[in-house]
Structure 1
Amino acid sequence: MLSNNLVRRDQIEVEGAMLSYLSAGTSSRIPLLLLHGTFWSRVWQPVLPALGEVARCVALDLPGFGASGGELDVKQASVPSLASTVVRAADALGLEEFDLAGHDIGGGIAQHIAATSGRVRRLVLMNSVMFDSWPVPAVERFRDPQVRAATSVQDLLDARTTSTRRSVLRELSDNELADYLSPWRDPARVRSWTAMAAAADPSYTQDLVPALQDLVLPTRLVWGRADDFQKISFAHRYVELIPGSDLVEVDGKHIPTEDSPRAVAEAIIAHLIR
């Protein structure tokens, strides 16, 4: 699946902060919002050209993440609060109804929006948090305010270097790794990341289960089967419990867009256009 569809970086103002996003596709196509978790919009970059052939793609950087302005505190970094921010971003973009994809904690945000907004047409969850699958220990430790206060830029860079390498099956090039790590050279983004980690709470996804079961929303899970962080067993459980959902397994780990971009794009496109 080769595409010459260009990926652009744009921005919108939401609640006084300039939020950055990667975009692909034309405004005439059905909008697809793509959300990140503990990484940033970079996780979607490998598949945006292909997805832009069928959708108007908007891969948003949350406040204090990626290339966006602003800074999150722990309250603002909760799943419900971030879901509200995303809905306001959709309003600013003029999107009433949209398809929605989420990776990692972004998948938890996506589940919340799907269950509460009435605006999601189809849902995609890629190696997403769900049920009580999160937070993993490396994230959970940031609930301690002393840990957050003691975390320097270099500390987070070292931790993100390790987790990024562990998230991809293949070996990232030096330039690719530097690109993934680039936001966390800024102290405000370090504080936003540790706030998201501190706000991680499995009750946010567990409490959504009854609403998602009643919704019967067309949902596709796309999963790197070798993920060490979000185990594929949770994806199988989701498909068993949530009507309207199915699972496509691909080669890869926590960021399967890097390991299997063609397979990921094909799985998402088939779900969006069926």
Structure 2
Amino acid sequence: MGPPAGTTDLVDVGGRNVAVWSAGDAGPPVLLVHGIPTNSRLWWDVVPVVAQRARVFAVDMPGYGDSPAPEDQPVDLASQAALLLDLLDTLGLDRVVVVGHDLGGGIAQILAVTASDRVAGLGVVDGVSYDGWPVPMVRAMKAAWPLLERLPAEVLAAALRPGLRTLFAQQDRADPFLDRFLEPWRRPEGPRLLARHLRSLDSVYTQTVAPFLPRLQVPTEVVWGRRDHQMKPRYGERLAQDIPGARLTWVDDASHFVPADRPDVVAEAVLRLVERAAR
């Protein structure tokens, strides 16, 4: 089943292919960045709403979803952020509203600090930050990467499902999203790719940009699930306190996967950013 709006294309970014789900014909550009172990389909119910008032570009970071990651291509946060800047150049986008979840939230912070002239608005949704990650669940997976990369792909996908299910507050919404998240890991290269991502995780990147967050002069929305037992709510509160003028939205009936649990709240926050960035 294809996405509910728009099209997905492989974009050649300096010889590297990046899968981009684009939707919307007019308005400011919005870049949506997922985390681990998801893909652009995290934004399944967010994109159609935002695309009514903006041009939306939801990416699969290299090594996730439909974006390949050759062995010589690094997949750490700083490298992913640098590739996204190259993607903006390729797409002809000067400044974008960038919104990230989980690892994508860390990448959004990196972009806002290191390429502030390209970021018109910043959104962080239960994003990795400071020294608060890898979160406990992912830390356990990282410790087990030598075993994970040897698992058959179907076994890996089945093993991931129960733990990921606990990151949804709205259990009736979990299964369709889990199917979308896990499908790429069922491919033969899935276990090796996931192990590679796990090995690359390091909070040094968000710790490096953290001292510069109070200097940001960009409209910022922080959205956090109060029931997130992995990337704890205190990090969302700290981000909102550190970034001048940031607006914090608590989502009482959401856990870590807020874009799946409450896409309406996330879409509203993104559209607020679009409006604020246009002023």
Whether these two folds match at TM > 0.5 is: yes
Note if 1:139 corresponds to 2:141: no
Amino acid at match of 2:182: L
Q: Is 162-171 or 28-37 further displaced after alignment? A: 162-171
1:201 and 1:13 mapped to 2: Cα distance?
28
Deviation at 1:48, TM superposition (A): 0.4
What is the match of residue 186 of structure 2?
185
What is the match of residue 153 of structure 1?
153
1:14 and 1:212 mapped to 2: Cα distance?
29
1:257 and 1:149 mapped to 2: Cα distance?
28
Contact 1:64 1:72 in 2 (8 A): no
Contact 1:71 1:188 in 2 (8 A): no
What is the match of residue 46 of structure 1?
45
What is the match of residue 34 of structure 2?
36
Q: Is 5-14 or 162-171 further displaced after alignment? A: 5-14
Amino acid at match of 2:78: P
1:259 and 1:136 mapped to 2: Cα distance?
19
Deviation at 1:269, TM superposition (A): 0.9
1:125 and 1:144 mapped to 2: Cα distance?
28
Contact 2:124 2:222 in 1 (8 A): yes
What is the match of residue 125 of structure 1?
124
Amino acid at match of 2:57: V
Superposed CA RMSD: 2.1
What is the match of residue 272 of structure 1?
274
Gaps of 5+ in 2: none
Per-residue CA shift, 1:10-51, capped at 9, x if unaligned?
22112323211211111x321111101101111111110111
What is the match of residue 217 of structure 2?
216
Contact 1:72 1:195 in 2 (8 A): no
Amino acid at match of 1:201: D
TM-score normalized with structure 2 length: 0.88
Amino acid at match of 1:137: P
Deviation at 1:225, TM superposition (A): 1.6
What is the match of residue 76 of structure 2?
78
* Identical columns (%): 35
Contact 1:32 1:56 in 2 (8 A): yes
1:52 and 1:92 mapped to 2: Cα distance?
20
Contact 1:114 1:120 in 2 (8 A): yes
2:126 and 2:159 mapped to 1: Cα distance?
20
- Evaluate the alpha carbon distance shift between residue 163 and residue 23 of structure 1 in structure 2; reply closer, same or farther with a 3 A threshold: farther
- Evaluate the alpha carbon distance shift between residue 175 and residue 101 of structure 1 in structure 2; reply closer, same or farther with a 3 A threshold: closer
2:170 and 2:222 mapped to 1: Cα distance?
22
Q: Choose the corresponding residue for 2:114, options 108, 113, 116.
A: 116
- Evaluate the alpha carbon distance shift between residue 266 and residue 49 of structure 1 in structure 2; reply closer, same or farther with a 3 A threshold: same
1:254 and 1:97 mapped to 2: Cα distance?
28
3-state secondary structure, aligned to 1:273: helix
Deviation at 1:82, TM superposition (A): 0.7
- Evaluate the alpha carbon distance shift between residue 163 and residue 71 of structure 1 in structure 2; reply closer, same or farther with a 3 A threshold: farther
3-state secondary structure, aligned to 1:227: coil
- Evaluate the alpha carbon distance shift between residue 78 and residue 109 of structure 1 in structure 2; reply closer, same or farther with a 3 A threshold: same
- Evaluate the alpha carbon distance shift between residue 190 and residue 96 of structure 1 in structure 2; reply closer, same or farther with a 3 A threshold: farther
Amino acid at match of 1:64: G
- Evaluate the alpha carbon distance shift between residue 126 and residue 174 of structure 1 in structure 2; reply closer, same or farther with a 3 A threshold: closer
3-state secondary structure, aligned to 2:101: strand
TM-score normalized with structure 1 length: 0.90
What is the match of residue 255 of structure 2?
253
3-state secondary structure, aligned to 1:63: coil
1:206 and 1:221 mapped to 2: Cα distance?
18
What is the match of residue 170 of structure 2?
170
